């Protein structure tokens, strides 16, 4: 296995097969959860052992902001809904007026 390690000895990437540019060979014991739970920085290479980083905090994702195009589409959708509502209101008024003139 090859590991990529930063200056703080945090493991930022690994390769079970093949090699990584700047990677170091690791032949020691691999924790069972390492490959399943791997996140860059979650593990450290300490005294030639892979250990959990006690200072690791999972990255939080910032909420995605709609693009300008998405905002435009959302506004157009609102406009279409308002126009449909207006058309239905006018149809109801026309039907009411038609009933009144049919008498």
Query: For the whole prediction, is pTM greater than 0.85?
Result: no
**DSSP state letter for 2:** E
Tokens 């030639």 correspond to what residue? 48
Q: What is the pLDDT of residues 61-98, one digit of tens each?
A: 777 888 899 999 999 999 999 999 999 999 999 988 88
Handedness of CA 63, 67, 73, 74 (dihedral sign): positive
Residue 20, pLDDT above cutoff 80 = yes
């Amino acid at each position: 296995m090859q590991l990529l390690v930063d200056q703080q000895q945090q493991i930022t990437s690994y390769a079970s097969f093949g090699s990584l540019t700047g990677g170091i060979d690791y032949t020691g014991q691999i924790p069972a959860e390492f490959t399943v739970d791997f996140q860059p920085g979650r593990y450290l290479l300490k005294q030639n052992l892979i250990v959990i980083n006690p200072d690791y905090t999972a990255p939080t994702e910032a909420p995605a902001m709609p693009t300008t195009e998405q905002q435009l589409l959302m506004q157009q959708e609102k406009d279409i809904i308002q126009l449909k509502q207006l058309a239905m209101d006018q149809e109801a008024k026309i039907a009411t007026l038609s009933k009144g003139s049919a008498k």
